[in-house]
Structure 1
């Protein structure tokens, strides 16, 4: 016979309600009681019946997480933050990868909706796509999107300030001819604005032909850097919109005989684990990746508990981590 919540309560000397509170991580319970109940759960091998629990609460206790590129080291760190917070509240995470493709993003979100997840955390490519699914009254937490909708909340990093910090750093190093390689995400519009504001603050010229965009991947970093330095040999520094692009930029500089940072300084964005492994180690704008995931999941839980409440955006700070590439 499977172990029941009643069995756990009897063995631990507590009420069934107390066991339920421990399992669901709810209510005020003393540490000693919680530890005693958890010890009994482990000893008896009790497993909560999520289906029965869902019938009572009208929830699946599963949330969806849509990321843009699982091969980008930025996203696994965010996903870990989501997973750890979800696990602490007895939720499962259904992970989907839209592969930087707006059409795949639609299919991904449809998959999550078909799975009847309680809510969704997403890095959106298109606001119109998310708006379509948000109309289903399903709680959405968007990361780095300022979309306004009754069922949508946002977790924002200060992308504008991050880009401006990068330009400030390059300008103080004496660089006046600076190129930029962007990706194609919604949040990057703020990085462009921050980059341009930094140039203006230092009296530097905004030259559109020095700004290239494309898929935010290593290969694109190589291609774009080769194009920038071939068409604009005067460029002495390049700001890229993620660390993969920056790694590609460094590789291209080596192929072109440009020393980093002596002949061309490189700055990335995200400060993933990759940044310290690149040769030379990469200067990068650090985003609080794990915290982004934790905060996003916490916000989704709050939206589930208070569906009629409006939640203001959460803003997280960034910082510039200076290494040897500048």
Structure 2
């Protein structure tokens, strides 16, 4: 008996490849939503009509309800205290989203007000979201998880079901601290921010690990946490100087800048009278007379990778649950011993 060969069903990827456009462009032409040139739309529609293409929702081709928006969730303080971080991360996210013809929109939240995020979720404004910070008590992550919207965090989480992209802060801070200990600095102080921010906990974890690995106890009286202003940072610096520490480490570039300013005001010579380092490098530290020892991260790459993972999730493709990016410890004049 002769068998009739079943014709292979055309996929969105087949259409995109044949026309030399992205799958997003094909999706927008079919759905009638999103940015697409009229000539391109017409070419796509003519092709799919000729070849009887129909979206395969089971294969991840749900085209009619897409918004072509990716959301970024930021806490309000990130627009000021982490200004050098934000534009670099946004650049990486934006460039990656643009290649797939997605727009990026921002949603602001703070510790007591999540109304903006609620509106975005309830009004179906985005196809996926990137949380720009993880928290110990992470209500935004819990809300997104409950909603079913694909999302990725920049920052680590204790929830193994959450897709996470971050720099390897524990290992980076462990390495820098180990180098300082090897140089002979035994009394090292750390000035850190909000303990509800997972990144601050990870940086301190690396600091503690370095001491444990080398069998050198750390001085708990030299660990300052929840420092959220210049005044508190300066107060911490005064106490560190009184306790004759060998070195100060700012957990981020902003806090390190405050410490640097205080040392300069007190005419404390760096590195002759006090060593100074930062667990995060940025242009905020470029004004120092002596280069500040710091950990360098590629923030644009962090944004790009987070967006790539999100796009894979939105397409229903496999993605790593945890992605950790590399770093570089830059030893400079400020920790010369």
TM-score calculated relative to the size of structure 1: 0.78
For structure 1, the residue ranges without an aligned partner over 5 or more in a row are: 1-14, 28-40
1:84 is paired with a residue whose SS is helix
CA contact (8 A) 1:216 1:242 kept: no
Aligned to 2:4: none
Is it true that 1:134 corresponds to 2:145 in the alignment? yes
Sort the Cα spacing of 1:102 and 1:56 in 2 relative to 1 into closer, same or farther, 3 A. same
Aligned to 1:293: 303
Sort the Cα spacing of 1:91 and 1:235 in 2 relative to 1 into closer, same or farther, 3 A. same
Q: Once the two structures are superposed, what CA deviation does each residue of 1:124-144 show, in whole Å capped at 9, x if it has no partner?
A: 233243112211100110112
CA distance in 2, matches of 1:108, 1:169: 44
Aligned to 1:321: 330
Which of 65, 69, 77 is the matching residue for 2:72?
65
Sort the Cα spacing of 1:237 and 1:112 in 2 relative to 1 into closer, same or farther, 3 A. farther
Is it true that 1:83 corresponds to 2:94 in the alignment? yes
Q: Once the two structures are superposed, what CA deviation does each residue of 1:221-270 show, in whole Å capped at 9, x if it has no partner?
A: 3332223323x2x1120111111111111111122231112111111123
Cα deviation, residue 207, structure 1: 2.1
For structure 2, the residue ranges without an aligned partner over 5 or more in a row are: 1-14, 28-34, 43-60
Is it true that 1:93 corresponds to 2:97 in the alignment? no
Aligned to 1:21: 21
Q: Once the two structures are superposed, what CA deviation does each residue of 1:112-155 show, in whole Å capped at 9, x if it has no partner?
A: 324621111011233243112211100110112224265x3111
TM-score calculated relative to the size of structure 2: 0.75
Which of 208, 220, 233 is the matching residue for 2:220?
208
Which of 180, 183, 190 is the matching residue for 1:170?
180
Aligned to 1:188: 200
CA RMSD for the aligned pairs? 3.2
CA contact (8 A) 2:253 2:280 kept: yes
CA distance in 2, matches of 1:220, 1:47: 58
Sort the Cα spacing of 1:79 and 1:136 in 2 relative to 1 into closer, same or farther, 3 A. same
Sort the Cα spacing of 1:26 and 1:244 in 2 relative to 1 into closer, same or farther, 3 A. farther
Which of 275, 285, 289 is the matching residue for 2:285?
275
CA distance in 2, matches of 1:16, 1:132: 35
Aligned to 1:160: 170
Cα deviation, residue 273, structure 1: 2.4
Cα deviation, residue 189, structure 1: 1.6
Aligned to 2:247: 237
The alignment covers a number of residue pairs equal to 289
Sort the Cα spacing of 1:134 and 1:177 in 2 relative to 1 into closer, same or farther, 3 A. same
2:305 is paired with a residue whose SS is helix
Greater mean alpha carbon deviation, residues 283-292 or residues 113-122 = 113-122
CA distance in 1, matches of 2:120, 2:237: 38
